[in-house]
Amino acid sequence: MTNQLLLVNGPNLNLLGIREPKVYGTQTLHDVETLVSETASARGFAVRAVQSNHEGVLIDAIHAAREDCEGIIINPGGLTHTSVVLRDALSGVALPVAEVHISDVRTREQFRHFSYIADVAAIHVIGEGVAGYATAVERLCALITGTSAD
């Protein structure tokens, strides 16, 4: 197995930098993917990135990760609060998972307070903006390699 991580970004994250910049900031999905790749590379990991507005595409990517990835970083977007099947896909591949949310979903609308992903994720990074992706990568790589995230 190669030292590779899967980065999954769910629905509407293709609109980063455009959609509600007061909530999500002005950095783009490309910026996120670059940050994750650079952070992972410094830890000896490659990254395969997928973003889709279609749940099945995300599930297929998660299933494929069991063949060549050692962990998954996921920002499921709105699927966080609605998708049992996404949760089951993550559970089913038995890879360590880092859940990321750009905004602090715990301080937003009530429906955003619940995450179907929470119980299958070993790492949770919430409300750190786009920089939270780097934190998630560092923690996930440390978990996988048994080293410090510092």
Residue 81 annotated in ligand binding: yes
Residue 103 annotated in ligand binding: yes
At 28, list the tokens: 């783009």
Residue 18 annotated in ligand binding: no
Cross-sheet strand order for the sheet of 123-126: 46-51, 4-9, 71-75, 97-101, 123-126
Q: Which residues are designated catalytic? A: 24, 101
Of the candidates 52, 71, 66, 49, the one whose C-alpha atom is nearest the C-alpha of residue 146 is 71
- For residues 113 and 131, give the distance between their C-alpha atoms in angstroms, rounded to a whole number: 21
Residue 41 annotated in ligand binding: no
99 bridge partner residues: 74, 124
Q: What kind and span of H or E run contains 66? A: helix 55-68
Residue 30 annotated in ligand binding: no
SS3 17: coil
What single letter denotes the amino acid at residue 96? Answer: P
Residue 112 annotated in ligand binding: yes
Please return the burial class of 146, using the count of CB atoms within 10 Å of its CB with bins 0-12, 13-18 and 19+: exposed
Q: Which residues are annotated as a binding site?
A: 75, 81, 88, 102-103, 112
| Binding-site annotation: residue ranges for substrate | 75, 81, 88, 102-103, 112
